[in-house]
Amino acid sequence: MPLRANFIFIILLFFGMALSGLIYLSTNVRSCSQELIEQVFATSVAKPNTLESQRSLKTSPGFQYKQPSLLAGRADVVSLSPWLAPIIWEGTFNPTLIDSIYKQHNITIATTVFALGKYTRFLKDFLESAEEHYFVGFGVHYYLFTDQPEAVPEVKMGKNHRLTVRKVPSLDRWQDISMGRMEILEKLIADELMHEANYIFCLDVDTKFYGRWGSETLGNLVGVIHPWLFDYPRESFTYERRPESKAFIPVGEGDYYYTAAAFGGTLEEIHRLTKTCREQLNADHENSIEAIWHEESHLNKYFLYNKPTKLLSPEYLWRDINISAGQIKIIRFSHVAKNNAEVRPNA
């Protein structure tokens, strides 16, 4: 009897060890498979590195530029946000130096613009002035969304600049045109741009460039301070104040008021922004509410709780109807004067 018991014990011990080995092997195979899947996925979405992801600001030996100063500079404006993000003004950067840093990385900036209905009339000035001032010397791929491809003017593109025209349906309400951009941008980034560009800027078409817009504007998440409200207290900002809206910002909160006419950053960050704004716009629509300034209200809500890593001063989006301001030493980009009632379909 003891011999039989010992025999059974040995058999059970053998099967136990074998089962443990199989479980261990299975677990490690699954783990290795998961690691392999993650590596393959990471490779599939890889694109050219942005400077931000490389965490380096390299210059070439022998490159000459004016010595920076800790004691002299702009004393009439703030050039750093409370969360230590730079605010870009004329006189706060060296264009030659910063171009030399970014040009080493062979980057491409995707740039989207929407021209529907009568807004096609602004395309010629926008594109021609962009080719004179916008990321000169860098790769730029314009994506133009329009309901009238035949109305797109022929504009000579500079070196490494190109234009792609995409047809989109006409819409009866300018509000729908404005709010629909977020969904189109989200899809464009996810489906195409991850392999083709490093950064993206989303710009309004009823605008014109008057001065340099270059590598000083690049960053992970870039907001442009609205020209009408840059010197106003937060209580005067036209945030969405109704709690029923997903764009709601309570009184007493807010940093700056940002324009939706220009924003940008890395593809990952702008995909996250557009996806969030699109989801919140849809939620508002389901609740039969429309934020006071449509997608701009949702953009401001996003920027409040997801701080931009770089802010562009109103030099980068002025308005031709604005009175002058002493802080504005140069107008780089501006909305052109227009009759809204004449160009907007339901104004």
Instruction: Please report, for the chain, the start and end positions of each structural domain, with discontinuous segments joined by +.
Output: 2-49, 75-343
- For residue 279, how many other CB atoms are within 10 A of its CB? 15
Nearest to 214 by CA among 97, 85, 46, 44: 97
Distance between CA atoms of 347 and 343, rounded to whole angstroms?
8
Q: Using 50, 70 and 90 to split pLDDT, how confident is the model at 169? A: confident
pLDDT of residue 60: 83
Q: Using 50, 70 and 90 to split pLDDT, how confident is the model at 339? A: low
Half-sphere exposure of 283 (CA within 13 A, CB side): 12
Q: What is the pLDDT of residues 43-72, one digit of tens each?
A: 334 455 676 765 578 888 888 888 998 988
Task: Say whether pLDDT at 336 is over 70.
Answer: yes
Catalytic residue of the set 150, 296, 315, 342? 296
| Section 210-219 average pLDDT | 98
- With tokens 């014109």, the residue in question is 208
- In this structure, of 52-61, 141-150, 189-198, 232-241, the range with the lowest mean pLDDT score is 52-61
Distance between CA atoms of 303 and 290, rounded to whole angstroms?
19
- For residue 143, how many other CB atoms are within 10 A of its CB? 22
The percentage of the chain sitting over the pLDDT mark of 70, rounded to a whole number, equals 79
Class of domain 75-343: alpha beta
Q: Which two tokens stand for residue 218?
A: 């690049």
Contacts with 167 (C-beta within 8 Å, 6 or more apart), sequence order: 145, 146, 147, 149
Q: What is the pLDDT of residues 254-302, one digit of tens each?
A: 999 999 999 999 999 999 999 999 999 999 999 999 999 999 999 999 9
| Strand runs labelled E in the chain | 87-88, 108-115, 139-146, 161-167, 199-203, 207-209, 221-225, 258-266, 310-312, 318-319, 333-335
Distance between CA atoms of 199 and 207, rounded to whole angstroms?
21
Task: Say whether pLDDT at 234 is over 70.
Answer: yes
The residue ranking higher by pLDDT, 200 or 65, is 200
pLDDT of residue 153: 96
pTM of the entire predicted model: 0.83
Per the annotation, the verdict on 90 as an active-site residue is no
Q: What is the pLDDT of residues 170-191, one digit of tens each?
A: 766 545 655 678 999 999 999 9
pLDDT of residue 61: 87
